[in-house]
C-alpha cells in the first residue's frame, strides 16, 4: 500500500506528465481500457497514466484482479468501474482499448457462450461508442485466429485453419468475428480502428491459475510440483514479454489513420514447449520433474509471428530476451505465492 507521501509524489508526477504533453502540442487524452484490471490491461493502464493521460479502467472482474490495479487507485487521473462489455457503456472518451475477454483456454472454455458474447457483443457496443464519440478504437485480437496453421511463420495475409465447432471455437471464432465487425465499422462509418493480433505474452500480473504455459510452468516449479507438458513437448511457441507488447500497442495507436492493421505483435524467437520447461527449471533451481499429458484438442503445433509489417509500419521489434523476461516473471510469482501462503497461515 502506498503512503500518503508516495501518493502525493505520484500525483505531482502525473501533473508534470500532463503538462509535458501540452507543451509538446498534444493534449492529455481521455482513454477507456476495457479489461483494464487484467494481465495486459493493468500494464497498459499504468503506461498511459505515466504518459499523463486520464484513464478509465472498466472490468467485470471475471478474470481481472483488483490487486493488478490497486497501486493505481490513488492517482487522480485514474478511475475503475465494474462493467461487462456485453452491456452498452456511455463514456466521454477520446480513445478506446478493447482488451475485454478471457484469453487462456481454461478460462474462455469455462463459459463458451459468455466468451463469444464478450468478443462479439462487446466489440459491437464499443464500436458504437467509438462511432458516437468519434473516438479511435483498438482491438486486442489474437494469434488464435490462425488456428492450427498450415503456414509458418504466420503473416497477416494468412486466413487461418480454425475449427469452427471445437472447444476453442468460442474464442477463435469470436475474435475473428470481432475483427470483421471492426473493419465493417471502419469501412461503413469511418470509425478509426487499430487491430493487433497478439501472440503468446507473459510477465508480471498473470494469474497463478491462468492455465497458460509460462504461468503453469513457473507456478509448478516454484511449488516443487511436476511440470506438466501436453504432448511430447515438441510443439513450438513464441513468447513476448509484456513490456514489449505494450510498446507495440502504443506505437499502433500512434500510427497514421490510414494504417488500421491487422498487425502481428509477438516475439519471433521460437522455442519448443520442452525448452521453455527446461529454462524455467534452471532459472528457479526447482527439483521438479517433467511429465507428459495428452495433447488438448485443436492445440496448435506451431506458433510464430511474421512481424515484418510491425517492423516496417511501427518501427517495432521486441527487445527483451526470454531468459530476462522469465526472471522478472519468476520474481513476481515467487512474491505472490509467498504472500498468499502467509495469508493462509495467518487465517489457519
Catalytic (active-site) positions: 171
Residue 333 vs residues 68, 218, 312: alpha-carbon distances, Å = 13, 8, 35
Q: Which residue has the cell 501540452?
A: 22
DSSP designation for 28: P
- Whole-number Å distance between alpha carbons of 24 and 48: 16
Residue 152 vs residues 88, 236, 290, 302, 321: alpha-carbon distances, Å = 39, 11, 28, 7, 21
- Whole-number Å distance between alpha carbons of 211 and 96: 28
- Whole-number Å distance between alpha carbons of 243 and 266: 11
Residues 6+ apart with CB under 8 A from 140: 35, 40, 97, 98, 99, 101, 196, 198
- Whole-number Å distance between alpha carbons of 39 and 215: 12
Amino acid at each position: 500500500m502506498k503512503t500518503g507521501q508516495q501518493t502525493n509524489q505520484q500525483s505531482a508526477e502525473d501533473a508534470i506528465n500532463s503538462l509535458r504533453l501540452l507543451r509538446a502540442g498534444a493534449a492529455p487524452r481521455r482513454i477507456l481500457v476495457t479489461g483494464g484490471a487484467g494481465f495486459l490491461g493493468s500494464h497498459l493502464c499504468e503506461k498511459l497514466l505515466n504518459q499523463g493521460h486520464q484513464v478509465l479502467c472498466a472490468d467485470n472482474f471475471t478474470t481481472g484482479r483488483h490487486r493488478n490495479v490497486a497501486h493505481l487507485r490513488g492517482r487522480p487521473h485514474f478511475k475503475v468501474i465494474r462493467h461487462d462489455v456485453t452491456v452498452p457503456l456511455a463514456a466521454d472518451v477520446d480513445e478506446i482499448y478493447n482488451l475485454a475477454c478471457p484469453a487462456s483456454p481454461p478460462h474462455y472454455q469455462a463459459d463458451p457462450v459468455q466468451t463469444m458474447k464478450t468478443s462479439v457483443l462487446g466489440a459491437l457496443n464499443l464500436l458504437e461508442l467509438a462511432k458516437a464519440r468519434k473516438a479511435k478504437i483498438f482491438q486486442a485480437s489474437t494469434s488464435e485466429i490462425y488456428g492450427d496453421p498450415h503456414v509458418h511463420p504466420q503473416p497477416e495475409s494468412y486466413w487461418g485453419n480454425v475449427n469452427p465447432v471445437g472447444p476453442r471455437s468460442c474464442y477463435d471464432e469470436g475474435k475473428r468475428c470481432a475483427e470483421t465487425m471492426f473493419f465493417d465499422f471502419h469501412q461503413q462509418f469511418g470509425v478509426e480502428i487499430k487491430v493487433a493480433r497478439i501472440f503468446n505474452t507473459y510477465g508480471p500480473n498473470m494469474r497463478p491459475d491462468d492455465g497458460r504455459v509460462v504461468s503453469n510452468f513457473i507456478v509448478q516449479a516454484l511449488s516443487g510440483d511436476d511440470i506438466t507438458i501436453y504432448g511430447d513437448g515438441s510443439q513450438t511457441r513464441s513468447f513476448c514479454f509484456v513490456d514489449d507488447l505494450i510498446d507495440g500497442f502504443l506505437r499502433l495507436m500512434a500510427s497514421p489513420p490510414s494504417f488500421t492493421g491487422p498487425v502481428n505483435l509477438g516475439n519471433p524467437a521460437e522455442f519448443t514447449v520442452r525448452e521453455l520447461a527446461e529454462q524455467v527449471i534452471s532459472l528457479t533451481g526447482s527439483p521438479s520433474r517433467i511429465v507428459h499429458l495428452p495433447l488438448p484438442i485443436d492445440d496448435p503445433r506451431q506458433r510464430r509471428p511474421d512481424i515484418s509489417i510491425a517492423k516496417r509500419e511501427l518501427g517495432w521489434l521486441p527487445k527483451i530476451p526470454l531468459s530476462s523476461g522469465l526472471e522478472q516473471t519468476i520474481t513476481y510469482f515467487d512474491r505472490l505465492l509467498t504472500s498468499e501462503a502467509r495469508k493462509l497461515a495467518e487465517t489457519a
